[in-house]
Amino acid sequence: MSAHEPSIAAPEQEPVRLRFDNTYARLPERFYARCQPASPAAPATVRFNRGLATELGLPDLERARITGIFSGWQLPQGAEPIALAYAGHQFCNLVPQLGDGRALLLGEVVDRNGVRRDIQLKGSGTTPFSRGGDGRCPIGPAMREYLVSEAMHAMGVPTSRALALVSTGESVQRETHLPGAVITRVAQSHVRVGTFEYFAVRGDVEAIRILADYVIDRHGLVGDDGENRYVALLREVVRRQAALVSLWMNIGFIHGVMNTDNTTLIGETLDYGPCAFLDHYEAGACFSFIDQGGRYRYENQPAVAQWNLMRLAETLLPLLDDDQDAAIEQAQDVVGSFPALYERDRLQGMRRKLGLFSEHPDDAVLVDELLALLERQQVDYTCFFRRLSDTAVEPNLDSPVRALFSDPDGWQQWYTRWLERLQQDRGRSTERMRAMHRVNPAVIPRNHAVHAAIRAAERHGDLAPFRELLSNVTQPFTDHPENAPGARPPRASERVLRTFCGT
């Protein structure tokens, strides 16, 4: 990356000490493999998230230290790098051993809010779980994860976050030679449904119990109401997944690879490989190149989430009840609550997007009619809701919204019903507009804008498009110029039809 000169800590410097408190590394050693990151040839810092670093309570690091630590070149004191063991259902097929093939958990810190957070390098070289892979990460997927995870956080979606992006000065062989990078990911936990599956396929009930207790105790997921704590854990995971997927659907996000190894117990979005956002509304939208059958298409995400949760429930059966039939009945009951929880959360989120402060029995019909209209006329999803927000103060000034529709009559019919619904609602128009602006983003990491930023970096070492897009998407609810990256819908020639994971 020609935009930055390599800058790393000199070998004789004392390693930086971070305030690690590593609990996962104290679990039995069958939960992970200890290994070291590879030393990159010529690392250089592309981006460091100082706001997140401050939140984590990290010391004020100079640039050379940032490059050294977050490239894997120099481990900080207190780090205990481990690659986590897990399995996973990938496109319905169980793979009994996956694990961190190109990632290392450096350790855990307790942030300034008292929340325990993992700090993980991704793209730092091979591990015992690499399965013949090179353990590297091209800079494009690392940039995508940085942009999208930080945008999701800014939009209020639970997610892993990006702390640092460092180029390695080495090329990575995929379809062609690409610049390499290491991204540092921060998450409340990297325990996945696939982590439980890893031990279930080995018949290791003791490890499942240890892991379940660890998750419960680390995150305080279970109350003291007398319910079996593992039933309560499953119930809380179901609730969090329903809330998370409803947020994805309401902002038009398509994860693209909802395997069980990418489904976290804590309910954060993890792994931004082939992810994408809707441009025009399309229920069956599918961008991921590896999802040839469309299993993880936009409209299917709630059903897949419930399927993944049932895989988790299966691993927990020995802990739910000594009687297998009773355990199965409890698992089915808990996971069976997912559709109702999801629909409740989705509808409540759509009410907020539509500026509705109260509930009405016909709201679901109003929403469904709108989505059908948007799909039929191929209306840009993000632009529609942002422009609709502006009409809350003055309904007669709807021409910017109307302009999105090829058939204005369909728009007018729905708009009239929406205005009638607002008449039944409490709240003043200015209050309504502000509330709508707080949930309807003006900019998102649009697929074509992300693609353009990646291409500029890969081909020319030009990081300016990445920086500009990052600045915009981390202020999603602020008005930006119509042509700003992330705000402007793609032209026909710019549409991105396929996304790739970069593994």
Segment 315-325, tens digit of pLDDT: 999 999 999 99
Angle between helices 205-219 and 193-200 (to 10 degrees): 160
Residue with tokens 């019903």: 417
Q: Residue 138: beta bridge partners?
A: 180
* β-pair partners for 184: 121, 164
> DSSP secondary structure string, 470-492?
HHHHTSTTS---TTSTTTSPPPG
Which residue do the tokens 């058939």 mark? 407
Give the pLDDT confidence score for residue 15 in this predicted structure. 78
Q: How far apart are CA 202 and CA 187, in angstroms?
A: 27
The single residue listed with the structure tokens 């007018």 is: 412
- At residue 105, φ and ψ (nearest 5 deg) are -80, 110
DSSP label at 25?
A: G
Is 278 in a helix, a strand, or coil? coil
Q: Return the CA Rg of the chain.
A: 23
Residue 363 falls in the annotated catalytic set: no
Of the residues 261, 271, 279, 398, only one is catalytic, namely 261
Strand pairing class (32-34; 82-84): antiparallel
Number of other CB atoms surrounding residue 393 within 10 Å: 14
A 10 A CB-CB count for 486 gives 28
Its pTM stands at 0.95
Whole-angstrom Cα distance, residue 426 to residue 485?
36
State percent of the chain over pLDDT 70: 97
H helix intervals, 279-398: 301-320, 324-335, 338-353, 363-376, 381-390
pLDDT in tens, the chain (503 residues): 544 444 444 444 677 888 999 999 999 999 999 999 999 999 999 999 999 999 999 999 999 999 999 999 999 999 999 999 999 999 999 999 999 999 999 999 999 999 999 999 999 999 999 998 999 999 999 999 999 999 999 999 999 999 999 999 998 888 788 999 999 999 999 999 999 999 999 999 999 999 999 999 999 998 888 889 999 999 999 999 999 999 999 999 999 999 999 999 999 999 999 999 999 999 999 999 999 999 999 999 999 999 999 999 999 999 999 999 999 999 999 999 999 999 999 999 999 999 999 999 999 999 999 999 999 999 999 999 999 999 988 888 899 999 999 999 999 999 999 999 999 998 788 999 999 999 999 999 999 999 999 999 999 999 999 999 999 999 999 999 999 999 999 999 999 999 987 66
pLDDT in tens, 97-110: 999 999 999 999 99
